[in-house]
Structure 1
Amino acid sequence: MATLRFILFSLLLIKVQCITLNDKDKNMINRLAEYVNSEDCDDVVNTKTTETTGISFDCKVFSSQETLTSVHQLTAADIKVVAAIGDSMTAANGAGSDSITDTLTEYRELSFSAGGQGSLESMVTLPNILKKYNPSLKGFSTTGSIGFNVAESGATTDELTCQVGELIDMMKADSSIDYENDWKVVTIFIGTNDLCHYCLNEEDSSPANYISSMYEGLELLKDEMPRTFVNIVSPTNVYDLSTMASQNSVCTTVYMKSCPCVAAGGAILDKVNEAALKYQGLLSDMIATGRYEKDDFAVVLQPFLQKASMPMNKDGTVDMSLMAADCIHLSQKGQAMYGLALWQSMFQSTSAKATNLQSALRLVSYNSLDGQELACPSEQQFFATNTNSESMSANAVNTNAVDTDSSSSSSTSVIVAVSLVGGCVCLVAVVFGVMVFRRVRKRQGYSEPDGHPMSSTGGYSYTKFS
């Protein structure tokens, strides 16, 4: 254990040298480093959940629409394939762990967006819900197969296009699916690692680089994957992790390696918060342009983590039951909460989606899934897109579990009133971000190859990733 602490301490010192810090910030990190040599570092709490992580299914099951050609009329029963892209949150690191030493283990079968182990009654995940409507669903992860979950632990957003290419290759090579005709749901959740290491290299993790990487990945999906509904879960603002760091020495120690910009605190953490808000804003603006909506393809932002806040106990301490023992990944219960929130969000109008977990689930507390209701759509209630959201109020899902936060509800009329002007502003914001990105890359001697969507020649040349 002493050797492990020495290694962690050495890595921390290397990271400190890479950050531009004033004396106050350096002193803060030096104080945090003392935890590595303290007995608190050995404190390991068994966080493997024994609580309810499943939910009952009381919805009416209906048949798929065999002749469906429009993504704007897509129902749960139409989905034949499920897939996921992202980092260790989607790979479900530590979700089934019972100690901090096991949090590097991937439990993809429990992943909120791609896990399909067991049933909905034992574990809430998007695939386990979809299996109720289509028992022959393909692509979910189990203990024996990763399925179409191509997430990589430690991945940053600049790896998104590579994961998209890998997913395309895997689907095309799978004879059990009809790549051209099967309807697919792909969930993307990435960006946390960029923010956790933003202070180490602000250029690589800049909002301009982030949105450029998202652009490239989505362009490839749009051009190469037909009949697809893409969920993008907003990147979590890691600023909230500082709440746990302030109350738990084990969390502080882990963050010094896995999320050093949170461990640094102070002005550095404020800059990370600012970057996170820019990530969210640029992503929202780019999707709102409508570029990623075709007859058979749509990208929809699911923002239920935009205004995330840490779960609290009645005594004011952080409720750690949603977190794995490393304080950064999700427990099995946390994955279940995210899975339910994602499902509920998929039926909320794009102009009035819940922007935090509490509103997405209407939680009084984070303590239990007991009593939570699953959104039960009818045959005429479709996954929400920008195109079909105008009729969402008349086609609302019949459940009290689907709701929006008050800020979203109160601003809906304003959003509708300025939608035309907003579309133009969004496009300008995206173009500006790309221009900044290109200038940075040009200073580094980089120029986009022919066929790149940002090159002067236009078009897109798809490169297969093996």
Structure 2
Amino acid sequence: MLHRVMTLDTFTTLCCIMIPVVIVQSNSLVPAWMNRFTDDEMTGVPKHILELQDKHFYPVRRTLQVLLKSSNRRSFAEINQKTQTRVFHSTNFPCTTNSTRSLIRPSSVHQLRPGDIDIIGSIGDSLSVGLGSFSNSIYEVLIESRGVSWTGGGEGTWKQYLTLPNIIKMFNPKLFGYAYGDALAEERGSQFNVAETGALSVDIFFMTKELVKRIKNDKRVNLNDDWKLITIMLGPNTFCLQLCYEDNIKLLKTYKEKLYNSFLYIKNNLPRTMINFVMSINLNVIINFTGKPLSCQIINRGECPCLLTLQYKNKQQDYINVMEQFKMIEKEVTEMEVFRSTEDFVINLQTFTKNIMFPLNKFNKTDLTYLSADCFHLSQKGYARAANALWNNMMQPVGKKSVNWSKELDGFICPTDEWPYIRTWKNSN
């Protein structure tokens, strides 16, 4: 797969930087923490790939994080309107935080208030890493801004960076596990955000095991009593890099198996856990982006050849259909009875990505301020919008969840005395 991508004549200046990222995407992402797995757990992962990762891949990534980072990049992103709308210091949080943590820890996940969540974690790809949050150039897209990840970053406050952890911190200031800074997955600052740039759907089980291991080995964790919230989202890299090179039927079958095994592993190893599973995005949305500059058009063909190159244009509708089948598998697996058999575990399928539409600017073109410099990942403003949508999904009953997103902080659903709990399949009625 690598040689097909890299021979694109459009993939020029960036290729020397992206090679380390792409090199491990042929069949399965191989992050550094995989070196800690036993041989049995690494079935199918070539040992030379692991050695490459250990000796070369991490040092290159760490060096790039340092070299590409500008001290003014966040300020420039704000000037370019790529950060969330400024919230005044005097502005109150949209929700009242009284009575949003139970006096006695609940024993049922269906009676979980936002303030009852003690630990937060995240599994995913570059979107969950926060890649490109403050990018003002193509090169800065490579910086992993994990601390402002919409699913797993807790840097600052909701007024600066609207993320799920920063929202939940308002209900439980003692929340922990969220990432901070520009940490890589191998570094301490990542905490329980084990998302990896370039991760494919099949990598979910590897990352699940790493997350469980980190939580179990953390001395701050009261494994049996603390309530844990884990947000999972994957898919874009599989759609961009595998649909045109792999057997799609096999991809679907493997994904279903990995998804099931990951959920079961969490259920069997992490007592008192709620999973936020964010439905895959049908990347038809990026096919329809308008007003992209030439630099984005060039880079996007290298980032997503299966959907954005002329070579596969005649199969585009087939790939769109496969992406819908991924969603069907996610709904099927998350609703399996085996995951509804205990009171201390639940999977909530969050659907704001189901029919997601991208905002338009005053010229009726795609509003690029919600996108990073490569017009593929999100800007910090885009991630804030996603965090708001995810939170709203959590508070909406099953069957009535939003299937799109809206402007950040324009609509913010709060727990009430009548409905104080995070919604699950059981308490939605």
Mark yes or no: TM-score above 0.5: yes
Secondary structure of 1:292's counterpart equals helix
Structure 1 position 83 matched with structure 2 position 121: yes
Equivalent residues in 2 for 1:205-220, closer than 5 Å: 206-220=251-265
Provide the residue aligned with 1:434 in structure 2.
none
Provide the residue aligned with 1:321 in structure 2.
369
Contact map agreement 1:53 1:123 (CA 8 A) in 2: no
Residues 147 and 349 from structure 1, CA distance in 2 versus in 1: closer, same or farther, beyond 3 angstroms?
same
Task: Answer with 1 or 2: which has the greater Rg.
Answer: 1
Structure 1 position 110 matched with structure 2 position 148: yes
Residues 373 and 355 from structure 1, CA distance in 2 versus in 1: closer, same or farther, beyond 3 angstroms?
closer
Task: Supply the distance in 1 between the matched residues of 2:265 and 2:193 (Cα, whole angstroms).
Answer: 17
Structure 1 position 142 matched with structure 2 position 180: yes
Task: Find the partner of 2:317 among 248, 262, 270.
Answer: 270
Provide the residue aligned with 1:356 in structure 2.
404
Identity of aligned residues (%): 29
Contact map agreement 2:11 2:302 (CA 8 A) in 1: no
Residues 371-417 of structure 1 deviation map (CA, whole Å, 9 limit, x = unaligned): x1422213552111111111xxxxxxxxxxxxxxxxxxxxxxxxxxx
Provide the residue aligned with 2:425 in structure 1.
386
Provide the residue aligned with 2:132 in structure 1.
94
Q: Per-residue deviation at 1:7?
A: 7.8
Q: Per-residue deviation at 1:73?
A: 0.5
Task: Supply the distance in 2 between the matched residues of 1:310 and 1:200 (Cα, whole angstroms).
Answer: 28
Task: Supply the distance in 2 between the matched residues of 1:274 and 1:181 (Cα, whole angstroms).
Answer: 43
Unmatched 5+ stretches in structure 2:
1-8, 20-25, 27-75, 184-188
Task: Supply the distance in 1 between the matched residues of 2:378 and 2:94 (Cα, whole angstroms).
Answer: 27
**Runs of 4+ off more than 6 Å:** none
Contact map agreement 1:244 1:251 (CA 8 A) in 2: no
Task: Find the partner of 1:59 among 95, 105, 109.
Answer: 95
Residues 123 and 247 from structure 1, CA distance in 2 versus in 1: closer, same or farther, beyond 3 angstroms?
closer
Residues 289-348 of structure 1 deviation map (CA, whole Å, 9 limit, x = unaligned): 333222000001101011112221232211111110111111000010011100000011
Task: Supply the distance in 2 between the matched residues of 1:284 and 1:220 (Cα, whole angstroms).
Answer: 18
Residues 110 and 205 from structure 1, CA distance in 2 versus in 1: closer, same or farther, beyond 3 angstroms?
farther
Contact map agreement 2:290 2:366 (CA 8 A) in 1: no
Provide the residue aligned with 1:396 in structure 2.
none
Provide the residue aligned with 1:39 in structure 2.
none
Structure 1 position 126 matched with structure 2 position 164: yes
Instruction: Specify the code of the residue in structure 2 equivalent to 1:291.
Output: V
Task: Find the partner of 1:49 among 61, 82, 92.
Answer: 82
Contact map agreement 1:206 1:275 (CA 8 A) in 2: no
Task: Supply the distance in 1 between the matched residues of 2:320 and 2:291 (Cα, whole angstroms).
Answer: 17
Residues 87 and 211 from structure 1, CA distance in 2 versus in 1: closer, same or farther, beyond 3 angstroms?
same
Equivalent residues in 2 for 1:131-210, closer than 5 Å: 131-143=169-181, 145-197=189-241, 198-203=243-248, 206-210=251-255
Residues 58 and 252 from structure 1, CA distance in 2 versus in 1: closer, same or farther, beyond 3 angstroms?
closer
The aligned length equals: 349
User: RMSD of aligned C-alpha atoms?
Assistant: 2.8
Task: Supply the distance in 1 between the matched residues of 2:388 and 2:225 (Cα, whole angstroms).
Answer: 28
Residues 72 and 94 from structure 1, CA distance in 2 versus in 1: closer, same or farther, beyond 3 angstroms?
same
Instruction: Specify the code of the residue in structure 2 equivalent to 1:267.
Output: N
TM-score, length-scaled by structure 2: 0.75
Instruction: Specify the code of the residue in structure 2 equivalent to 1:384.
Output: R
TM-score, length-scaled by structure 1: 0.70
Task: Supply the distance in 1 between the matched residues of 2:236 and 2:378 (Cα, whole angstroms).
Answer: 13
Instruction: Specify the code of the residue in structure 2 equivalent to 1:308.
Output: I
Task: Supply the distance in 1 between the matched residues of 2:218 and 2:167 (Cα, whole angstroms).
Answer: 23
Provide the residue aligned with 1:438 in structure 2.
none
Task: Supply the distance in 2 between the matched residues of 1:186 and 1:3 (Cα, whole angstroms).
Answer: 38
Between stretches 301-310 and 311-320, larger displacement belongs to 311-320
Task: Find the partner of 1:306 among 354, 362, 368.
Answer: 354
Q: Per-residue deviation at 1:207?
A: 2.0
Unmatched 5+ stretches in structure 1:
13-17, 19-44, 364-368, 391-466
Structure 1 position 337 matched with structure 2 position 375: no
Structure 1 position 239 matched with structure 2 position 279: no
Secondary structure of 2:349's counterpart equals strand
